[in-house]
Amino acid sequence: MRGVLERGFGYQGNAMALPVGSVDGAIPFYERVLGFRVASRSDTPLKSAVLTRDEVQIQLVENGGDPTQDGCAFHVRNIEALYEEFVANGLAKKDNAFGIERRGDAEWRVFYAVAPDGLCYWFGERQPTPA
């Protein structure tokens, strides 16, 4: 079964304004490793690209922001399959890549990936609530 991105949330509140130094330089990683596709590009008012995968959209923008201070959290389905897909596509495999984090009243199985542009991504699959 394939891993699926179900929802995306920008760390700074906006997944449609993720800062990168170069849109053209960033796109290959998102396409090749993370499986996104370019939906649209624009040069005005700022150079940007909207990327889509499964049920989510993000936008990379040359807006002067610091990518090391931003990124997205993604709710996913089939997190292990998603991680293995990313590794097969060139993401560096890490020992003990998965962790468990508590968010509100739920536990999430998670892993992180940092893009070459500096943006950090959290991928999490909600765990069943114990009976």
Q: What is the pLDDT of residues 84-124, one digit of tens each?
A: 999 999 999 888 899 999 988 899 999 999 999 999 999 99
- 74 pLDDT band, cuts 50/70/90, is very high
- 131 pLDDT band, cuts 50/70/90, is low
Q: What 3-state class would DSSP assign to 65?
A: coil
Instruction: Quote the mean pLDDT of the chain.
Output: 95
Instruction: Give the Cα separation of 10 and 71 in Å (integer).
Output: 6
Record the pTM.
0.94
Cα 35 to chain centroid, rounded: 10
Instruction: Give the Cα separation of 124 and 94 in Å (integer).
Output: 16
Say what the pLDDT of residue 15 is.
94
Q: Mind listing the domains of the chain with CATH numbers?
A: 4-126 (3.10.180.10)
